[in-house]
Amino acid sequence: YKIAVLPGDGIGVEIVPEAVKVLQVIGEKFNHQFEYTEALVGGEAYDATGHPLPDDTLKICRQSDAVLLGAIGGPKWEQLPVHLRPEVGALLPLRKELGLYANLRPCFLFPGLTHASTLKEETIAGVDLIVLRELTGGLYFGEKSRQEVEGGIKATDVLSYTTFEIERIVRYAYEVARKRRNKLCSVDKANVIETSRLWRETVMELAKEYPDVETTHMYVDNCAMQLIRNPKQFDVIVTENMFGDILTDEASMLTGSIGMLPSASIGGKVGMYEPSHGSAPDIAGQNKANPLATILSAAMMLRYSFNLEKEAVIVEQAVSKAVAEGYRTPDIMEDGSKPVGTVEMGDVV
Amino acid sequence: YKIAVLPGDGIGVEIVPEAVKVLQVIGEKFNHQFEYTEALVGGEAYDATGHPLPDDTLKICRQSDAVLLGAIGGPKWEQLPVHLRPEVGALLPLRKELGLYANLRPCFLFPGLTHASTLKEETIAGVDLIVLRELTGGLYFGEKSRQEVEGGIKATDVLSYTTFEIERIVRYAYEVARKRRNKLCSVDKANVIETSRLWRETVMELAKEYPDVETTHMYVDNCAMQLIRNPKQFDVIVTENMFGDILTDEASMLTGSIGMLPSASIGGKVGMYEPSHGSAPDIAGQNKANPLATILSAAMMLRYSFNLEKEAVIVEQAVSKAVAEGYRTPDIMEDGSKPVGTVEMGDVV
Ligand SMILES: CC(C)[C@H](C(=O)O)[C@@H](O)C(=O)O
Ligand SMILES: CC(C)[C@H](C(=O)O)[C@@H](O)C(=O)O
């Protein structure tokens, strides 16, 4: 299995090696050969080559079976022209070029970590949901323009979706729901915008093909409430790009430990796996970062890109066990637990 | 003071009279004359006239100094063609026609009601923020279209903002911040969309005119997280229409009692005041609805439309006192409190 390894910026260079460490053990135990090719991305790529996504990096990704990404961005590169900033210059083109139309962000609570959330234990205990966010359409990739108008400037973004784009992500969501608790909640703003109306109509059509899955529709504003009021009502949520961006970040707070949440972006030949959190420049280089989200992202890689379900589960169980045994990086620290750094946590897993 | 009274649908017809009751007492005590004109809106207007916003209603609103709205919509009207549905056929045109570009949604916690939230007490105790949502621009009012494409349909919404539209809401937000704790957080997605870039540039320019106010910028996804992680960091939040729709609903959950949260929509000659919650058809007609959000909306009317600050504060204090003395409608009920219905709660206040 060929893996493109893109540590990126900030804590990325610390957490990615821990995930590779875990993959190595899996490889040895189960006789798989993982071949790693490291490449530059984000701010460090910009510093070295003048662009946050060098051609070489994209080529290496395309030639791999999966991409393991750390994190990108940081204050150092925030003043660059938009198209050269790590997020817009590297992350969005990577998604588009690799055809990663489905972003999967699971949100679940590790027993023993309920204290980390700002929500009450009875609200979050047992939360286990996954958001499927459309990742290559909508406002993110629509035409952008400015024009002079009387007394100022008018800026415009275009939000479009085709039935094709909606169908493929929603079908994928149904397949995911079938492997879980058979509940799909499609989130839109069909009472106001046209793309959402097409979205809802398309979901209603597809629902007929999945009678075994319970389909519901929810407005995005209501969903933003319901995620806090009663998150246990959700199994699989499917939504468009911008709504998904907002709702996944919100949902990540249910667990209180964004350092624990993995993500997978799939759809094309090559999947991309990265933690849900950012590059955390404030703690970079101090062996403080929590590598578990990245390790769990590697587990998702085993599952979704390599179809190695058993191996994926073993990694997930190892992470659960490390947490259950009380090992904690600073972000999830609590009284009476065993403090460890990034490297030690990787070793424990 | 001429007030257009639009009870609307569901519990609207129960809660609005309680707010009028309170206004009457204020009128008598302080020698103000409030003149009420009732008008049809929403589903009941559709049933009676064939349109959710009859011309007469709009005319009555225009000829008043302020509008007191209950709630509109319900399952009965959800299958109507979009332009005849209560929300899109009445609410959006009311906002646009009356020029209500600024929607104010305060979010604060009544002492004694912390138990109602799903968030931990230490996270929400002392929360006192207000969201200013732009209400007459953006995706809500952009051009909508559909076109046939290979293998399906493509739907499009246009998202536009002009410097003029951004400046007036942001200026308003600065004025609000000056009367509060002098902190303004502008929320956008400037790392991805063009309207947000113009939004941010415009705020950065205006910030120079308000050096006494601390201005910060936050991405909308991060804001959706921060509202749950640490809501006390916020004083005034200003944002565009769709982001505001999502974030205000999310923020309302901090208090756990959406039945307590008022809202004001202003900008033109006539302001509109309504509770943040909906028409709650499930409890309509049972004297169960909490009238406090509507009563607090009437207080906002006194403050923002009639400039009667002292009177507004007296209404707010009366509401606080009713809650402090233990009076509770079913939605905020707890052990040992005094259960009351809609009418009795109005009487107590
Ligand atoms: C960095 C940014 C462009 C990106 C997005 O908005 O998609 C991020 O917020 C995410 O969710 O991965
Ligand atoms: C009913 C709907 C059109 C409306 C909106 O989206 O503005 C509502 O959600 C609100 O926030 O007042």
Residues A233-292 have pLDDT tens digits of 999 999 999 999 999 999 999 987 788 999 999 999 999 999 999 999 999 999 999 999
- Give the span between the Cα atoms of B341 and B278, in whole angstroms: 18
| Closest CA–CA distance from residue B24 to any residue of chain A (Å) | 34
- Give the span between the Cα atoms of B224 and B226, in whole angstroms: 6
Which residues neighbour B221 within 8 Å (Cβ) at sequence distance 6 or greater?
A245, A246, A248, A249, B189
Asked if residue A116 has pLDDT above 90, the reply is no
- What count of Cα atoms within 13 Å lies in the side-chain half-sphere of residue A57? 27
- Give the span between the Cα atoms of A46 and A180, in whole angstroms: 41
**More confident: A37 or B336:** A37
What per-residue confidence (pLDDT) applies to A22?
Answer: 98
Of ligand 1's atoms, which has the minimum distance to the CA of residue B192? 3
What per-residue confidence (pLDDT) applies to A343?
Answer: 98
Residue B110 banded pLDDT, cuts 50, 70, 90: confident
Q: Which ligand is nearest to the CA of A139?
A: 1
With CB atoms and an 8 Å threshold, state whether B242 touches A189: yes
What per-residue confidence (pLDDT) applies to B17?
Answer: 98
B140 is catalytic: yes
Rounded to an integer, the average pLDDT of B314-341 is: 94
Rounded to an integer, the average pLDDT of B284-294 is: 97
The hierarchical CATH code for the domain B1-106+258-349 is 3.40.718.10
- Give the span between the Cα atoms of B161 and B171, in whole angstroms: 15
Strand partners, B262: B275
Average pLDDT in chain A: 96
- CATH superfamily for domain B118-255: Isopropylmalate Dehydrogenase (3.40.718.10)
With CB atoms and an 8 Å threshold, state whether B144 touches A119: no
In a 3-state reduction of DSSP, which class is residue B284? coil
Which residues neighbour B290 within 8 Å (Cβ) at sequence distance 6 or greater?
B15, B257, B259, B260, B329, B330, B331, B332, B342, B345
| Closest CA–CA distance from residue A173 to any residue of chain B (Å) | 20
Among A123, A160, A228, select the one facing B250 at the smallest CB separation: A228
> pLDDT tens across A53-92, in order?
999 999 999 999 999 999 999 999 989 998 999 999 999 9
Evaluate: CB of B191 within 6 angstroms of ligand 1: yes
Where do we find the tokens 């499930």? Answer: B282
B128 is catalytic: no
With CB atoms and an 8 Å threshold, state whether B221 touches A146: no
Evaluate: CB of B324 within 6 angstroms of ligand 1: no
How far apart are the CA of B245 and the centre of ligand 2, in A? 7
Among A189, A194, A229, select the one facing B155 at the smallest CB separation: A194
Yes or no: domain A1-113+257-349 corresponds to CATH 3.90.220.20: no
What per-residue confidence (pLDDT) applies to A111?
Answer: 79
- Give the span between the Cα atoms of B275 and A40, in whole angstroms: 52
| Closest CA–CA distance from residue B311 to any residue of chain A (Å) | 32
Asked if residue B188 has pLDDT above 90, the reply is yes
**More confident: A258 or A120:** A120
> pLDDT tens across A154-199, in order?
999 999 999 999 999 999 999 999 999 999 999 999 999 999 999 9
Residue B154 banded pLDDT, cuts 50, 70, 90: very high
Where do we find the tokens 């080559």? Answer: A49
In chain A, CATH 3.40.718.10 covers 1-113+257-349, 118-255
Strand pairing of A236-239 and A183-188?
parallel
With CB atoms and an 8 Å threshold, state whether A198 touches B153: yes
Asked if residue B147 has pLDDT above 90, the reply is yes
Residue A115 banded pLDDT, cuts 50, 70, 90: confident
Asked if residue A112 has pLDDT above 90, the reply is no
Probe residue for ligand 2, chosen from B91, B136, B273, B277 as the CB with the greatest number of ligand atoms within 8 Å? B91
Probe residue for ligand 1, chosen from A101, A105, A239, A245 as the CB with the greatest number of ligand atoms within 8 Å? A245
Asked if residue B101 has pLDDT above 90, the reply is yes
Closest by CA to A193, choosing from A228, A169, A167, A157, is A157
CA end-to-end span of chain A, whole Å? Answer: 22
- Give the span between the Cα atoms of B289 and B343, in whole angstroms: 9
In chain B, CATH 3.40.718.10 covers 1-106+258-349, 118-255
